[in-house]
Amino acid sequence: MNKKLGILSILLIFILACGFAGSTPPPPTVSAIPSFQSPQIPTAIPPTPTLVPSPTQPASLGTIALDFVALLCDAKWMNGAQHFTACPPANADRSGGYAVVIDPTTEGLPANTPVLLTFAGTYSAAIFLRYPTFKVHAGDRFRTTLRCSGPANSQCNVQFALEYYDAQGKYHSPFMQWSYNPSIPDIHVNADLSSLTGQGVDFVLALRPGNGTSAQDDGALWIAPHIYRPNP
């Protein structure tokens, strides 16, 4: 009897052991880990600058109908007493007055800005640059910025003028004039030419000494002088 109980106990132990060995415990439940997304940083968009045309530059809806700098050598050069050679060589006598296209950066202006430096002369009353005949259209305007050249001309005192010859050869002076000395800001000119609409005229850029002064060493700048014409 005891022998049978021992055999049954062994069989029961064997069966229980096999049952545990054959069963696989369920895997532990793992909580889902959310994936990390980096926050999106908005791209900075710089503001679009508003382009405002200055008095010396044409607006986007117009053109330059007459460029006084580009046509400098086509002008007739005169002073109060004589005619002289346009665009003379660098070693020419300039005591009677002269005009020259200069590097704008020497005057603190942006590169490619057209600039005329003019002197009335040591002994002459003025310098006059008479340009080829030009027909004025409706809406045409004379634009430029006027001042003296550099800090060396702290005593500069001059009179700028736009004058003209009409079709009959009559000279119109005064027409438009601007007096300048270093105590005042740059003169920004945006002048209406409607009184000349339809006429063929020879415009003249004139430079004279200011009242009671000498022309000597008074270097005067015409910055981007031109006739602006709006598109139709």
Domain of 180? Answer: 74-223
Q: Give per-residue pLDDT as tens, 113-170.
A: 999 999 988 776 789 999 999 999 999 999 999 999 876 556 788 999 999 999 999 9
Q: Which residues contact 213 (CB under 8 A, 6 or more apart)?
A: 157, 158
Confidence of residue 6 (pLDDT cuts 50, 70, 90): low
The rounded distance, in Å, linking the Cα atoms of 173 and 93 is: 28
SS3 9: helix
Residue 54 lies in a domain: no
Q: How far is the C-alpha of 221 from the C-alpha of 119, rounded, in Å? A: 9
- The string of pLDDT tens digits covering residues 218-228 is 789 999 999 99
Distance, CA of 226 to CA of 141 (rounded, Å): 8
Which CATH number do you get for residue 200? 2.60.120
Domain-embedded: residue 29: no
The DSSP letter of residue 103 is -
The confidence band for 59, taking pLDDT boundaries of 50, 70 and 90, is low
The answer to the question of residue 20 being in a domain is: no
In a domain, 8, yes or no: no
In 3D space, the residue among 163, 78, 64, 176 whose CA is nearest the CA of residue 118 turns out to be: 78
Residue 152 maps to a domain: yes
Mean pLDDT of 206-219: 73
Q: What percent of the chain has pLDDT over 90?
A: 53
Contacts of 102 by beta carbon, 8 Å cutoff, 6+ apart: 115, 116, 117
Opening angle at CA 162, ends 126 and 88, nearest 5 = 50
Residue 45 lies in a domain: no
Q: Is residue 106 part of a domain?
A: yes
Q: How confident is the model at residue 209, as a pLDDT?
A: 86
Beta bridge partners of 136: none
| Residue 47 in domain | no
Residue 154's pLDDT is 65
Mean pLDDT for 106-115 is 95
Is 67:101 a contact under the CB 8 Å cutoff?
A: no
pLDDT of residue 165: 98
How far apart (Å, rounded) are the C-alpha atoms in residues 159 and 179?
A: 4
Tally of domains in the chain: 1
